[in-house]
Amino acid sequence: MRSKKPSALRVLAALLCLAMISAACTSGETGEESTTTAGGDGGEEPTTTTAAGPTTTAAEGGGGEEVTRLVFGVPPPPDGESNNPNRDIQPNDEYQLKPMYENLIAVDPETAQWTPMLAESWELNEAGDELTFNLRQGVQFHNDFGEMTAEDVVFSLTDLIDPPGAISGVAEAVRNAVEEFEVVDDYTVIFHIAEGGLSYSFFEGISYGAAGTAIKSAADWESRGGGSPASPTMDEAPIAGTGPYQFIERAAGQNVVFERIPYDHWRQDGSFQELEYRYLPEDATRLSALLAGEIHLTGLPTELGDEAESQGMGIIRSQLPGRRYGVPLEGCYYVEPPQPGVPSAEVFVSGERKFPDSPWCNVDIRRAVSKAIDRDALNEAFYGGEAETAVMWYWLPEQTDSWNPEWDERYAAEIGYDPDGARALLEEAGGPVEIQVLARNDATEAIAVMLEEVGFVVELVSMDDAEFTAQREGREFDRMVDYDDTASENITGFEPAGYANQDSGRAIEMVEWDTQYEAVLAELDPAAQQQLWLEFGNVIFDNVPHIPLLRTYDEIVVNPEVVCDYIFPGANMSAPYSFVEYISAC
């Protein structure tokens, strides 16, 4: 570990200057690769073929040429490729098969709220031990594998949890919640719930926003010989799904290609005859491919997106500013170690602190940190002036049922930028306060300078990610300022940043807050839960356990002659580059 004092000159220069980045690169021809094609009519065995590399589709929509294949330039799946979306794919990888699958519960592309999908409705009995899903009738699997029924739901979720070993974190939530699946009839399935097993995390896990619970065709897998787990090899096609696009082929490491289903989809038809995810790891490569007409849309950093826009490309924003940035304050811990899965009131029983002198156990010092940080300066320096101030970190004003308008009214006076107010709070707390700031990037060094200017005594700490994570999860820091961002769903996303009884080491540990958060997770009635979440938000606003800074929209850069609209909620859920059925052709 290295420690140093922050360089005010260097960091403040970063606050005043924005670097303009331009890059270009050429793309060479691809050789022949093995690709996999979908099974034929009536459940024929999928075949392996040899084909050329990804097809280049010109993006000359304005010249009268119809674009039949939409090419979405994306980074390769960071944790690898797989043909089993329920066992072998993480949330950030699942776009590779997302267009062909659906879940029991949907995520609305505009609001990110849960809505019915393959399940038309669900209800929990009064005893809380039976959760009944009523399935949508008439939904067809691809490649003539028949209608989706309760047997397919049981097959798909059983594949997630049995045998153990699925990398999806959803597997644990389902395994803990469900003792048995019962097929009542073709359109009704009962989940027999273990005592205390059902939670909000379970519902999030079976929704479209999470990886691991895609509904797959049992008949397709049986036609291939069955077996467990239901994991087709990379030389086979994935098991048939019910989504608006069906699988055609993939070239490992290069692309995966889908086609629009040859019938009306029950929910939303795709706008293009074919859809290709083309794997391009470098930002500059994707920019060059977009400008050359080799791809039609992609995600790019702000600077490169601006460059593309200056050359005639368009930018489409997410519906919600779902990526949020903030400052965790690490060190206010109990002496007892966490015991995940046990109510916090049964874990942290002594009330004693591991570090009794941690400044983060003092709410006025936490407020002083918040008042010291100039969000506008950070926005201009590091986010191109396009971010918005985040009044709260894990609550969104767009979700009005759980937003208190008083937070907006109180923000400036209580936790907004006010360096004189920060100095006064520190003086009331007894004078200079020694803290550490992790030197993650230029933004954190800028924050260190701001904190130093109001009277904090700052030690700027450099260490590699693995070392820092190990010490944080070991709850070894007593006065650390970190810098973090989240793209998660709000309620479950709060856990690693604000819930004491887990192993991230980011939370200000307070039993009372944990107990209130546990009640939010346990409440499954949406309206009642939103009310509890709002009430918990009042506690968080008052106590400032972490410092909200900024929030940004996700942006997709598009060829405006090919793509006229793209409706997607943004980064407050997993599954990047998804909702592709809501891309509109020009």
DSSP bridge pairs for 131: 124, 191
> For residue 22, is pLDDT > 80?
no
C-alpha distance from residue 384 to each of 379, 388, 443 (Å): 6, 11, 13
Helices (DSSP H) in 113-217: which residue ranges? 150-161, 170-177, 200-205
CA distance 21 to 34: 37
CA distance 476 to 470: 9
Name the pTM for this structure.
0.80
Q: What is the pLDDT of residue 172?
A: 85
574 falls in which pLDDT band (50, 70, 90)? low
> For residue 265, is pLDDT > 70?
yes
DSSP bridge pairs for 353: 334
Mean pLDDT of all residues belonging to the chain: 87
Task: Please name which of 81, 77, 80, 72 lies closest in space to residue 54, comparing C-alpha atoms.
Answer: 72
User: 427: Cβ–Cβ under 8 A, 6 or more apart, which residues?
Assistant: 455
Q: Could you count the other beta carbons within 10 Å of the beta carbon of residue 399? A: 17
> For residue 438, is pLDDT > 60?
yes
Domains with residue ranges and CATH for the chain: 55-75+244-317+554-585 (3.40.190.10), 83-230 (3.90.76.10), 327-552 (3.10.105.10)
Query: Element (H or E) spanning 421, and its range?
Result: helix 419-428
pLDDT digits (tens, 9 = 90+) for 138-180: 999 999 999 999 999 999 999 999 998 888 878 888 988 899 9
Task: Please name which of 228, 150, 223 lies closest in space to residue 190, comparing C-alpha atoms.
Answer: 150
> For residue 90, is pLDDT > 90?
no
Q: What is the mean pLDDT of residues 221-231?
A: 95
CA distance 422 to 365: 8
pLDDT digits (tens, 9 = 90+) for 542-571: 999 999 999 999 999 999 999 999 999 886
> For residue 319, is pLDDT > 60?
yes
Is residue 449 within 8 A of residue 11, CB to CB? The reply is: yes
> For residue 19, is pLDDT > 60?
no
User: How much of the chain, in percent, has pLDDT values that exceed 90?
Assistant: 69
Q: What is the pLDDT of residue 382?
A: 92
User: How much of the chain, in percent, has pLDDT values that exceed 70?
Assistant: 88
Q: What is the mean pLDDT of residues 510-528?
A: 90
Q: What is the pLDDT of residue 1?
A: 36
**Structure-block tokens of residue 237:** 């096609």
540 falls in which pLDDT band (50, 70, 90)? very high
Residues present in the chain in total: 586
Q: What is the mean pLDDT of residues 268-273?
A: 97
CA distance 427 to 365: 10
Query: Which residue reads 């007593």 in tokens?
Result: 478
pLDDT digits (tens, 9 = 90+) for 115-140: 999 999 999 898 889 999 999 999 99
Listed range (30-39, 263-272, 422-431) with the worst mean pLDDT: 30-39
Q: What is the pLDDT of residue 6?
A: 41
**Structure-block tokens of residue 326:** 């903030």
Is residue 550 within 8 A of residue 370, CB to CB? The reply is: no
> For residue 88, is pLDDT > 70?
yes
pLDDT digits (tens, 9 = 90+) for 398-414: 888 899 999 999 999 99
Q: Where does 84-201 show beta strands of DSSP type E?
A: 105-107, 114-116, 119-124, 130-135, 178-185, 188-193
Q: What is the pLDDT of residue 4?
A: 38
CA distance 239 to 373: 51
Q: What is the mean pLDDT of residues 96-101?
A: 96
> For residue 31, is pLDDT > 60?
no
> For residue 424, is pLDDT > 90?
yes
